[in-house]
Amino acid sequence: MHPISHVTIDEFTALTPADHSLALHHYGQQITLLENRLQLPGRADARDIMQDELSRCLTLRKLHVAALAEQLALLPTRVAAAA
């Protein structure tokens, strides 16, 4: 599989809850790092790039949260069907 930030739609839909959890951890770290860097003085163009990256990370984190919530909501149904 590609790095978590470069998956295709088909690969994204095939991710497991563990994959989504790993992605949430990854994006959480990236978001914290970018927020800390944005607190430091710097060039405007670098700040714009970091703001764009922060926005992208926040969006991707939301997608993984929604996908994980959906998978976890379906989990009791899958367990019952397997029994």
At 59 the pLDDT is 95
At 1 the pLDDT is 42
C-alpha 68/C-alpha 83 separation (Å) is 23
CB 18 within 8 A of CB 5: no
State the average pLDDT over residues 56-73.
95
Question: Whose CA is closest to 68, among 21, 9, 34, 11?
Answer: 21
| pLDDT class of 76 with cuts at 50, 70, 90 | confident
| pLDDT class of 50 with cuts at 50, 70, 90 | very high
Whether pLDDT at 2 is above 70: no
* Predicted structure pTM score: 0.80
At 79 the pLDDT is 65
State the average pLDDT over residues 13-29.
94
**Which tokens sit at 83?**
């029994």
**Which tokens sit at 34?**
């970018």
